[in-house]
Amino acid sequence: MNIITAKDLCLWYDTLQALKNIDVEIPEKTITALIGPSGCGKSTFLKTLNRMNDLIPGVKITGSVCYQGKEIYAPGVDVSELRRQIGMVFQKPNPFPMSVYDNVAYGPRTHGITSRVKLNEIVERSLRNAVIWDEVKDRLRKNALGLSGGQQQRLCIARALAVEPQVLLMDEPTSALDPISTSKIEELVTSLKEKYTIVIVTHNMQQAVRISDQTAFFLLGELIEYGNTEQMFSKPKEKRTEGYITGRFG
Amino acid sequence: MAIKSKKKLVENIIHGVFLVLGLVTVGCVLLITVYLIVSGIPAIREIGLIDFLFGKEWASTAAEPKYGILPFILTSIYGTAGAIVIGVPIGFFTAVYLAKQAPTKFKAVMESAISLLAGIPSVVYGFVGMMVLVPGIRKVFNVPDGASLLAAIIVLAVMILPSIIKVSMTALEAVPKEYEDASLALGATPVETYFRVSVPAAKSGIATAVVLGVGRAIGEAMAVMMVSGNAANMPSLFQSVRFLTTAVSSEMAYSSGLQQQALFSIALVLFLFIMLINATLNFFLKGQKEGT
């Protein structure tokens, strides 16, 4: 079943068209990788899925994005509720300048959970799911900015998981991390597939091959090719896809 | 070689000029401090520290003069506290709105209006307060005279708004966008994000703004003199009162002897208050630098 469907999606930053007639269907509980050279629109596309582009002045969007069969750009849509269900992890780890515990508890508290017992349970479960519990269980009250970059990013994933989203959008989550932290995050992402649908932007083609089920290749705001990852990397249908994945440009 | 040593001479001269200019500034501060202490101590000695600070009566021109400045100290503290209680919430919410939510054009208009408010001379505040506020208070609260502590509090509250708004705004605008994005992406609304992420991240800057407001309010003389009635009563909201600042300025012109020395002592007390506020300010600024 497809959890997200984008149809004929176009996006302009003022007069610059950043996305051109994108059609993508994302199946539930899979990992979809978005690849392409810098400025090709892959991050922009990712941010249309939880309406984070709304925050940029001068953005105009046409076409349709459906989440669980409902148009997310329809008037009257509760954007906060949408973003609760479609979580996001950013390129640069961005924990709040508060304790590890408060970081994870931020989302649930915002959505009205005040019971100490319940919060403790959510924090522990989220940190365990993000495979960082053992590293931080003794320093839950310490400032999260004291963690290493890789730990901060897993903390951000735990924070996103704490509001029980259905979909997790990840915008180059490993580009600021060292190889060991990167492989930890990759393992984590693969394990999260059981419960969540994941859409991940990546510059690293090996990463796309290692973790994703399907891949979308963007170039200059167009979706060039979209399909099964193995097939795309072994037998790309498009010349331009082949050129990019074999490293001839990009 | 000759050119080189000439260059070096010029360097040394300029260096010396800067040093002298710097010393002039520091010298002024030192001079004021020493002068206040030297000229403020004798009266305190003669009157007695306890009688001076905690005496409830000030009657400097009576046949048997009394020099108790408790009314002035309390008036200054109450007046400043009142101005903070009214001014800080208004200034703080204005700053949050302008820094985070206001449309660009409206923000530009508001910012220049706030700068203008900061530039208005205090005598003008006092004048407007005298003409509008004082009669207004008399009518609204049905009291015999509107020139009161309340009038002074309201004038001070308006006067501290610009510094509170500007300093808080700068702190709020410096909060990294990543924090706010993370909060919004978790499904928090913009307003929840401002108050649960942006404001806590800017808290030391906002505290600095409040302390600056306190400093401005406690040091103000002209405007409060014009609206507070300037009688040396123990402070009460609808009564005519006298502040530390106005106590000095209203009697200095005709004072002599012990009376004049006592005025210097009042100035010394005011100076200590300001020092205390500055120390608090430095404490918060340090916190801001360390990014806590």
**CA nearest to B186 within chain A:** A84
Q: Nearest Cα to A157, choosing from A116, A189, A119?
A: A189
Predicted confidence at residue B243, as pLDDT, reads 94
- Structure tokens given for B88: 């800080």
- Structure tokens given for B47: 């009157």
Helix axes B70-96, B203-219, angle to 10 degrees: 140
Q: Nearest Cα to A199, choosing from A222, A172, A230?
A: A172
Predicted confidence at residue B278, as pLDDT, reads 86
How far apart CA B14 and CA B193 sit, in angstroms, is: 52
CATH number, domain at A63? Answer: 3.40.50.300
Assess if residue A70 is contained within a domain: yes
Chain A closest CA to B278's CA: distance in Å? 27
**CA nearest to B192 within chain A:** A110
Percentage of residues in chain A having pLDDT higher than 90: 82
Give the bridge partners for A22, in sequence order. Answer: A9
DSSP state, residue A58 = T
Predicted confidence at residue B255, as pLDDT, reads 85
Residues of chain B with Cβ-Cβ distance to A80 below 8 Å are 187-189
Predicted confidence at residue A148, as pLDDT, reads 92
Chain B closest CA to A235's CA: distance in Å? 37
CA dihedral B11, B16, B17, B21 (to 10 degrees): 140
**CB-CB under 8 Å, B179 with A83:** no
* For testing contact with chain B, the best of A78, A102, A106 (most B CBs within 10 A): A106
- Within 10 Å of residue A30's Cβ, how many Cβ atoms? 17
Assess if residue A225 is contained within a domain: yes
A192 has pLDDT over 50: yes
Helix (H) or strand (E) holding A4: strand A2-13
ipTM for the assembly: 0.90
Averaged pLDDT for residues A4-21: 93
Assess if residue A168 is contained within a domain: yes
Residue B67's alpha-carbon distances to B58, B75, B123, in angstroms, are: 5, 16, 28
3-state secondary structure (DSSP) of residue A87? strand
> What pLDDT band is residue B167 in, cutting at 50, 70 and 90?
very high
Averaged pLDDT for residues B37-63: 89
Averaged pLDDT for residues B259-278: 91
Q: CA end-to-end span of chain A, whole Å?
A: 33
A250 has pLDDT over 70: no
Chain A closest CA to B229's CA: distance in Å? 49
Assess if residue A10 is contained within a domain: yes
What are the residues whose beta carbons fall under 8 Å from the beta carbon of B39, sequence distance 6 or more?
Answer: B261, B264
**CA nearest to A156 within chain B:** B182
Chain A closest CA to B172's CA: distance in Å? 14
Q: What is the mean pLDDT of chain B?
A: 91
How far apart CA B26 and CA B190 sit, in angstroms, is: 47
pLDDT in tens, A140-167: 999 999 999 999 999 999 999 999 999 9
DSSP state, residue A54 = G
**CB-CB under 8 Å, B178 with A160:** no
- Within 10 Å of residue B26's Cβ, how many Cβ atoms? 9
Helix (H) or strand (E) holding A32: strand A31-35
Residue B241: φ, ψ to 5° = -135, 170
Q: What is the mean pLDDT of chain A?
A: 92
How far apart CA A20 and CA A44 sit, in angstroms, is: 11
> Looking at this protein, which amino acid is placed at residue B126?
G
Assess if residue A250 is contained within a domain: no
Give the bridge partners for A17, in sequence order. Answer: A12
> What is the dihedral sign for C-alpha B163, B166, B169, B173?
negative
Q: How many domains does chain A have?
A: 1
Range of the domain at A178: 2-245
B170 has pLDDT over 80: yes
Residues of chain B with Cβ-Cβ distance to A48 below 8 Å are none
For every residue of chain B, DSSP letters joined together read -HHHHHHHHHHHHHHHHHHHHHHHHHHHHHHHHHHHHHHHHHHHHHH-HHHHHH---EETTSSS-EE--HHHHHHHHHHHHHHHHHHHHHHHHHHHIIIIIS-HHHHHHHHHHHHHHHHS-HHHHHHHIIIIIHHHHHHHHT-S---SHHHHHHHHHHHHHHHHHHHHHHHHHTS-HHHHHHHHHTT--HHHHIIIIIHHHTHHHHHHHHHHHHHHHHH--HHHHHHSB---PPP-TTS-B--HHHHHHHHGGG--HHHHHHHHHHHHHHHHHHHHHHHHHHHHHHHHHTT-
* For testing contact with chain A, the best of B100, B184, B189 (most A CBs within 10 A): B184
**CA nearest to B190 within chain A:** A80
How far apart CA B43 and CA B34 sit, in angstroms, is: 16
Percentage of residues in chain B having pLDDT higher than 70: 97
A107 has pLDDT over 60: yes
B292 has pLDDT over 60: no
A246 has pLDDT over 90: no
Predicted confidence at residue B288, as pLDDT, reads 61
3-state secondary structure (DSSP) of residue A134? helix
* For testing contact with chain A, the best of B184, B186, B203 (most A CBs within 10 A): B186
> What pLDDT band is residue B256 in, cutting at 50, 70 and 90?
confident
Pairs across A and B, CB distance < 8 A: 63
Which of A152-161, B210-219, B263-272, B275-284 is least confident? B275-284
B291 has pLDDT over 50: no
Chain A contact for B185, CB < 8 A?
A: yes
Residues of chain A with Cβ-Cβ distance to B194 below 8 Å are none
* For testing contact with chain B, the best of A96, A155, A164, A169 (most B CBs within 10 A): A96
Given the structure tokens 């610059």, which residue do they identify? A16
Chain A closest CA to B186's CA: distance in Å? 5
Residues of chain A with Cβ-Cβ distance to B188 below 8 Å are 80, 106-107, 110
Instruction: Choose the closest CB to A90 out of B178, B187, B192.
Output: B178
Percentage of residues in chain B having pLDDT higher than 90: 73
Averaged pLDDT for residues B216-226: 92
- Within 10 Å of residue B81's Cβ, how many Cβ atoms? 14
